[in-house]
Structure 1
Amino acid sequence: MAQSSTNISKRLKSLEKHLAEEHPDNPVLAKAVHSFRKLDHVAQNIGLLDRNESYATYVTWWPMIAVLGTFSAGKSTFINSYLGLHLQRTGNQAVDDKFTVICYSSHDEVKTLPGVALDADPRFPFYQISRSIAEISEAGPQRIDAYIQLKTCPSEKIRGKILIDSPGFDADSQRNATLRLTQHIIDLSDLVLVFFDARHPEPGAMKDTLEYLVAGTINRADANKFVYILNQMDVTAKEDNPEEVVSAWQRSLAQAGLFAGKFYRIYNPEAATPIEDPLIRERYENKREEDMAELNTRMQQIEVERSYRIAGMLEQTAETIGNQVIHKLTGMLQNWKKRVILFDSILFSTLLILSGVAFWLTDSWNLLKIFAENIMACETSSLVGLGIIAGVMGYIHFTIRSKVADNMIKKLPAEFGHDHTACKQYTQAFIKSTAAYRPMFLQKPAGWNNSNQNILAQVKSEANDYIQSLNDQFTNPSGHKVEVAAEEQPAAESVTIPEAKAEQA
């Protein structure tokens, strides 16, 4: 455990150093690492995190775009077109069953690296993901290369960003590991592009997929980061009915519970079905160019949004721990205590009644009087007997405590659904708060004290300071001339770490 704690500390120091070197004009990112350390201290005391874990590894330190969607939705074709390279295999059937993390490299050729290159680096979105895979994969952590891979390419479009291409989504047949990784990606991404195949607009045709990719996003605080894309719209040109296709998909989304959101209508001109009518072709091309321009703008904006996202996560995490997590753990502890006391009362009352009946039937009440007198006289055998009785009662009590806690923990996965991380954290914290060495009369969860409350308050204050600092860089409410605008900063600044890691691997 000490070695693991040292490893995560070294990695965070390395991350902080690189961020300071690569972004000298934006010290917020390096400072944020220090604030994450404070959050880690509180979370580890409560039991939410292990000593070898950090909230800093729950975010990606580079702007991240996730590309999700159904099979044959044209995700890989879109990525290749966006990058200007033939990077991903394409086809109507599933051609790749791995999550592919794509980042920039100065090398002229494309390189494909194994999943371990991502698992060991906290700057990428799959840091230590092998532990999660090991929990649900019989083959264990060595199977990580079957789920994820890293590709590097020289496209300037990806410089300073991370792009993730997901395997075609089929909710009926996907393994649990793929679902968990999908949720992990969604949580970390700054922008989520959800692709649908315009050739299959029938309502209900993709029911399970829609429920997973769409229904789970409706009540999210960051729901605005989801973009829905109807790809391969060229196939509708023959009937010239794009509005009907969009309406069909809107009905499908409505069935999944989503009544808002815009569809972008695009297609790849190089792979498109020829549109013979020049008027229809012009109208389709204009619409495609308009929507592609909006998509490109959204994809460029995440470079600014990334810093705000990290500062916002600091404040949100501190707020969640101080209010939501502690409130729920306190409620769970109260429920646990009530149930333990109830079962203790029932069991010990039953034992007391049975003992009384036994003494009454055997007319042995005088034995209790003799036993009490021997204890008062410190008679050894009676004291040993009293110790045995106390030990048996203690064993029964702590067995009840453990059984009740285990029963409550078993119900957590159903409560949290796909949020495996939250389920794991609450489980760890609850186990720590109900440990045998903690007296039951303690009202607060383990690790929750004035010192840690003050630390959370400091983190929230620091997060607000970071946001104000970012505002000074990226906004100009006073109207005074800004010497270096955000968009004028050299694009190469945010490149070196993913590139260097890829070259090193």
Structure 2
Amino acid sequence: MKPKERYEKLKKYLSAENPVLLDVIQEYQELDSVARSLGLIDANETYTARISWWPLISILGTFSSGKSTFINDYLGMPVQQSGNQAVDDKFTVLCYGAGDKVTTLPGLALDADPRFPFYNISEKVERVDPGEGSRVNLYLQLKTVPSENLKGKILIDSPGFDADSQRNAILRISSHIIEMSDLVLIFFDARHPEPGAMRDTLEHLVARTVEQRDRDKILYILNQIDTTAREDNLEDVIGAWQRALSQKGLIAGNFYAIYNESAKQPIDDPAIAERLERKRNEDLAKIYERMEGVKVERAYRITKALEDFAKEIENKKLPAIREALQRWGRRVLLADFLMALLLAGGAASLFVTGVLPGTLPLIAGAGAVGLLLLILFHFMMRAKIARSEIKKAEAQDPKLAGALRKRTRWYRPILSLWSGGWFRRTEERLANIIEYSRAAIRRLNDQYVTPLDTVDQEENKL
């Protein structure tokens, strides 16, 4: 899908979901324009493809941790198979479908559709696990579900996580969905609290999430706490998990304990049953509240991402491009200077030997040839030095290499690198995008927050 078509589809979607973001699309177009002028993206790329515009909730966890049962309860229908053993070895993307039944589509439907967060995931899988990119149907599937709870959001159910059997492709997809998601629910099984059983799970699920900038979007859920009723040791089990999480760097918080009503174990002691149910209801209400709030979080995340993309160009990409281009320019000018000295030395030798009658036309012709040689040498050296700088940049940042490739084309004037005009205009455009992003966040605030001065005005009226 070309950027223009993607813009139109997003505008159509946002006009119904969140009109405030319609103007944000315009700024993403401006950001794309700046990036293309720099050579950071090509004509078919767009920054709108680097984030999910649909609120996204991912659910990860160990085998038999109750993920599928939780999803079925939330959707109000049996969509995902559940059981104590591994029953599904694919990432399942669940979205709303207007039909009267659940429809399952292959992973190719996700890989080829830019509206979903797995667009072109096969290429990413191929880079980390050669040969697996063409087998995307083994890892992904799409289900459309006629559940009102799915309207306006996407749910991703992961296969049960067993680190001993994981392949690079599964790990890559897990990292991808954690990065793309607005909310991540990581399930653990309360029946297996011993440290040995949780070690690999913590290493692959928890240790990776603590590196996230927005760790608040990650909820750790201890499921099936009804199985602790017989020993009545819920606090001990929760404490064991919290200590294990803290050892992996997780700061306390975002930790919940629940069980699934449709699969709970009988509890004979009414007092214990009441205590577990109260804990479950409190934590489940908080989880559902976060799940319902992803639309708001997504609007802020999209708007903040615009600022982050612009700042990355302003603070990292643009200085690196400027430095590389100026280094290239200095090397070319030095080569030109040395060549000019060489030609000037040859011309001076003619005068040293004396100017003979009738040799002036020959000297003039030699001068013209020398000038032509200098011009040819200039373009030959600027291309050669550009290739050297591009090769150096490719090892550091392929996007930087693309920018150098574009900005060192033969018709680009070298002396303009020191005038600063082009760089200043680019910096001004980026500054305008950043300021717009902040203004858009203020407009989002106006939808959900009553500013203090407005409250004062209302009180004065009374």
TM over 0.5: yes
Task: After TM superposition, list the pairs within 5 Å mapping 1:13-24 onto structure 2.
Answer: 13-20=8-15, 22-23=16-17
Aligned match for 1:461, one of 414, 435, 441: 435
Which of 436, 440, 444 matches 1:470? 444
Q: Deviations over 1:106-133 (max 9, x none)?
A: 2111011223333343332223334334
1:316-331 mapped onto 2 (5 Å cutoff): 316-327=308-319
Mapped to 2, the partners of 1:139 and 1:217 lie a distance apart of 27
Q: CA–CA distance in 2 between the matches of 1:406 and 1:69?
A: 42
Q: What is the one-letter code of the residue matched to 1:226? A: I
Distance 1:18 1:76 in 2: 29
Taking the aligned partners of 1:438 and 1:130, their CA distance within structure 2 comes to 37
Distance 2:389 2:434 in 1: 36
Separation in 2, partners of 1:47, 1:171: 40
Cα deviation for residue 430 of structure 1 reads: 6.2
- State the 1:378 CA deviation: 9.6
Aligned position for 2:266: 274
Paired with 1:75 and 1:427, the residues of 2 have a C-alpha distance of: 44
Using the TM superposition, give the Cα deviation of residue 95 of structure 1 relative to its aligned residue in structure 2, in angstroms. Answer: 2.3
The separation in 1 between residues aligned to 2:243 and 2:72, in whole angstroms, is 30
Pair 303,396 (structure 1): closer, same or farther in 2 beyond 3 Å: closer
Higher relative contact order (CA 8 A, sep 6+): 1
Report runs of 4+ in structure 1 exceeding 6 Å deviation.
331-334, 376-380, 393-401, 433-444
Output the amino acid matched with 1:463. Answer: S
The offset of 1:172, in angstroms, is: 4.8
Distance in 2, Cα, partners of 1:458 & 1:448: 16
Indicate whether 1:231 and 2:226 are aligned: no
How far the C-alpha of 1:178 sits from its partner, in A, is: 2.5
Q: Deviations over 1:242-263 (max 9, x none)?
A: 2222222222222222233231
Offset from partner CA, 1:449-493 (integer Å, 9 cap, x none): 2333222222223223322222222222324999xxxxxxxxxxx
SS state at 2:195 partner: coil
What is the letter of the counterpart of residue 272 of structure 2?
I
Q: CA deviation at 1:274?
A: 2.5
Task: Give the match for residue 264 of structure 1.
Answer: 256
Change (3 A) 1:211 1:481: farther
Cα separation, 1, equivalents of 2:404 and 2:157: 36
Q: Residue in 1 aligned with 2:424?
A: 450
Match of 2:244 among 245, 252, 260: 252
Residue identity opposite 2:11 in structure 1:
E
* Cross-structure match for 1:290: 282
Is residue 44 from structure 1 mapped to residue 36 from structure 2 by the alignment? yes
CA apart distance, 1:235: 2.3
| Alignment partner, residue 25 of structure 2 | 33
| Matching of residue 70 in structure 1 with residue 62 in structure 2 | yes
Q: Report if aligned partners of 1:202, 1:252 keep a CA contact under 8 Å in 2.
A: no
Q: Which residue is 2:75 aligned to?
A: 83
Shift of 1:406: 4.2
- Confirm or deny that 1:145 pairs with 2:137: yes
Q: Tell me the TM-score normalised to structure 2 length.
A: 0.79
- Relative to structure 1, the CA distance from residue 30 to residue 209 in structure 2 (aligned partners, 3 Å threshold; closer, same or farther) is same
Report the Cα distance in structure 2 between the residues aligned to 1:19 and 1:104, rounded to whole angstroms.
17
Deviation string 1:141-196 (CA, Å, 9 cap, x unpaired) is: 64332232211111111122111112223445433333332222222211111112
Matched, 1:11 2:6: yes
Is contact 1:63–1:190 with CA below 8 Å preserved after alignment? yes
Cα 1:465–1:144 change in 2 (3 A) is: same
Of the candidates 155, 168, 172, which is equivalent to residue 176 of structure 1? 168
Describe the SS at the equivalent of 1:235.
Answer: helix
Matched residues in 2 for 1:192 and 1:299: separation?
A: 10
Which among 107, 110, 125 is matched to residue 118 of structure 1?
110
Q: 2:178·2:184 contact (CA, 8 Å) conserved in 1?
A: yes
* Equivalenced residues, count: 443
Superposition deviation, residue 231 in structure 1: 1.3
Equivalent pair of 1:405/1:434 in contact (CA under 8 Å): no
Asked if the contact 2:132–2:169 (Cα under 8 Å) also holds between the matched residues in 1, the reply is no
Whole-Å Cα distance in 2 between the matches of residues 277 and 431 of structure 1? Answer: 73
Q: Distance in 1 between matches of 2:322 and 2:162?
A: 39
What are the Cα deviations for residues 278-311 of structure 1, in whole angstroms up to 9, with x where unaligned?
Answer: 2222211111111101111111112222222222
Instruction: Please state how far the C-alpha of 1:86 moved relative to its aligned partner.
Output: 1.0
Structure 2: give runs of 5+ residues left out of the alignment.
336-348, 354-361
Distance in 2 between residues matched to 1:131 and 1:436, nearest whole Å: 33
On the 8 A contact 1:203/1:251 being kept in 2, the answer is no
One-letter identity of the residue aligned with 2:291: M
Contact 1:45–1:447 (8 Å) recurs in 2 = no
Instruction: Answer whether contact 2:393 2:400 (CA < 8 A) is retained.
Output: no
**SS of alignment partner, residue 449 of structure 1:** helix
Amino acid at match of 2:266: P
1:410/1:318 CA distance change after superposition, 3 Å: closer
1:65 Cα deviation from its structure 2 partner: 0.9
Q: CA deviation at 1:139?
A: 4.6
1:98 shift after superposition: 2.0
Deviations 1:432-457 (A, max 9, x none): 5688987999869x997233322222
State the identity as a percent.
Answer: 48
Quote the Cα distance in structure 1 between the aligned partners of 2:219 and 2:258.
13
On the 8 A contact 2:96/2:144 being kept in 1, the answer is yes
Asked whether the 8 Å contact 1:83–1:155 carries over to 2, the reply is yes
Cα distance change on mapping 1:299 and 1:8 into 2, 3 Å: same
Amino acid at match of 2:21: L
Cα distance change, pair 434–75 in 1 and its aligned pair in 2 (3 A): farther
State the match for 1:155 in structure 2: 147
Q: TM-score, normalised by structure 1?
A: 0.73
Unaligned residue ranges in structure 1 (runs of 5+): 346-368, 413-423, 483-505
Query: Does the 8 Å CA contact 1:204/1:252 hold for their aligned counterparts?
Result: no
Tell me what 2:346 maps to. none
Larger radius of gyration: 2
Alpha-carbon distance between aligned partners in 2 of 1:245 and 1:427, rounded to the nearest angstrom: 53
- Assess if the C-alpha contact under 8 Å between 2:220 and 2:255 holds in 1: yes
Against the structure 1 CA distance between its residues 430 and 400, is the aligned structure 2 distance closer, same or farther, given a 3 Å change threshold?
closer
What is the rounded CA distance, in whole Å, between the counterparts of 1:246 and 1:185 in structure 2? 27
Q: Secondary structure at the match of 1:224?
A: helix
1:394 and 1:304, CA in 2 relative to 1: closer, same or farther beyond 3 A? closer
Determine if contact 1:66/1:185 at 8 Å carries over to the other structure: yes
Indicate the SS of the match to 1:318: helix
CA RMSD for the aligned pairs?
A: 4.4
